[in-house]
Amino acid sequence: MSARPSVLVARRIFPDIVQRLREHFEVEEPLDDEPLPQPELIRRLQGKVGLFATGTELIDATLLQACPDLRAVCLMTVGYNNVDLAACAARGVVVTNAPDVLTETTADFGFALLLAAARRVTEAEHYLRAGRWKQWNIDLLAGADVHGSTLGVLGMGRIGQAIARRAALGFGMRVIYHNRSRLAPELEAPLGAQWVDKTELLRRADHLIIVVPYTPAAHHLIGAPELALMKPSATLVNIARGGVVDDAALAEALAAGRLAAAGLDVFEGEPQLNPALLALSNVVLTPHIASASIATRRAMCNLAVDNLIAALTGGQVLTPVGP
Ligand code: DGY
């Protein structure tokens, strides 16, 4: 048997990243590009000390109990709501995520969704492709301005701040935000960002971008009562996690004209979608790709590899997460 630690790569990743892993470990790669159901994941993890994971594997007490050799779970995502951190800590399993490297790319995408939804970009393209463009009209596919408007940011972590920078410095927007803790004055000042309570955020925002991590407390943070506080002309963008927004309530508000538009990259129960969303033209839908530039996905993978190497060769992991 090899003296090198054995690791499992949960999903297909870039071949040269696997090669990096092979320089340090015995590596088992997935046979295809399908998510592994937990029993199969457990089977493949037997005898492995490390897991290169994504946001789709469920790492809970059941798995940990069935995989007693496991010492490190290194995620290539920033979100880690698929991992039971307390159960990992109880078994001494190191968990790491991949923050920072995806911040700017994800903020770009949040803005792309905001612009696309507010200015009806995808709706306009569908209209044109369907051969419906016959003449000029004064209000043909007219939407809402983004520049100069008020942006509400719900969740002012790294990605929220990167979005606020784009808004304030690139689009001349007023930035209001809600977060458990206020930013330090030296971070607020250059953005002119103002902390407000959640109700004021919802009432005042012309456009709302949601960037909070998913936790049980964040489940349906935006539901029917919250949507009712928003301006009917407002746009809502969710690049956080499915479940933070009540998708059924959102679809109802969009269908009833109680909210103008939405841009959604994440969904409750994804990759399944609430069918009511698919029937609407005033929502831009993307398949959880906010961090998906080639360079950033590579950087996320490389950070997970750096963490696995550190965790399994006696080094200091770079980006640990704990309960
Ligand atoms: C993350 O890193 O958490 C993004 O949502 C990509 O999955």
Evaluate: CB of 99 within 6 angstroms of ligand 1.
no
- The reported pLDDT for the residue numbered 51 is 98
Mean pLDDT of 246-269: 98
- The reported pLDDT for the residue numbered 3 is 82
Evaluate: CB of 286 within 6 angstroms of ligand 1.
no
- Name the residue of 74, 77, 105 whose CB sits within 8 Å of the most ligand 1 atoms, as the mutation to test its pocket: 77
DSSP string, 262-311: EEES--TTTTS--HHHHT-SSEEE--S-TT--HHHHHHHHHHHHHHHHHH
Evaluate: CB of 319 within 6 angstroms of ligand 1.
no
Residue 305 in tokens: 């590899």
CA distance 273 to 276: 8
| Percentage helix, strand, coil for the chain under 3-state DSSP, each rounded to 5 | 35, 15, 45
- Name the residue of 78, 103, 215 whose CB sits within 8 Å of the most ligand 1 atoms, as the mutation to test its pocket: 78
**Ligand 1: distance of its center to the CA of 79 in Å?**
5
**Ligand 1: distance of its center to the CA of 290 in Å?**
8
CA distance 113 to 100: 21
Mean pLDDT of 238-257: 98
Please give the mean pLDDT across all residues of the chain.
97
**Ligand 1: distance of its center to the CA of 300 in Å?**
9
Residue 166 in tokens: 């784009």
**What is the H or E stretch that residue 236 is in?**
strand 235-238
Q: Where does the pLDDT of residue 264 fall: very low under 50, low under 70, confident under 90, or very high at 90 and above?
A: very high
Closest ligand 1 atom to residue 239 Cα is 5
Cα angle 173-78-17, degrees, rounded to a multiple of 5: 120
CA distance 70 to 63: 10
What's the pTM? 0.95
**Ligand 1: distance of its center to the CA of 240 in Å?**
8
Tens-place pLDDT, residues 212-242? 999 999 999 999 999 999 999 999 999 999 9
Of the candidates 221, 246, 231, the one whose C-alpha atom is nearest the C-alpha of residue 154 is: 221
What residues are labeled active site?
A: 241, 270, 288
CA distance 107 to 175: 15
Tens-place pLDDT, residues 43-80? 999 999 999 999 999 999 999 999 999 999 999 999 99
**Ligand 1: distance of its center to the CA of 248 in Å?**
23
Residue 312's Cβ-side half-sphere holds a number of Cα atoms within 13 Å equal to 27
pLDDT at 2 over 70: no
- The reported pLDDT for the residue numbered 312 is 98
Mean pLDDT of 134-161: 98
- What single letter denotes the amino acid at residue 285? L
Tens-place pLDDT, residues 184-209? 999 999 999 999 999 999 999 999 99
- The reported pLDDT for the residue numbered 31 is 83
**What is the H or E stretch that residue 182 is in?**
none
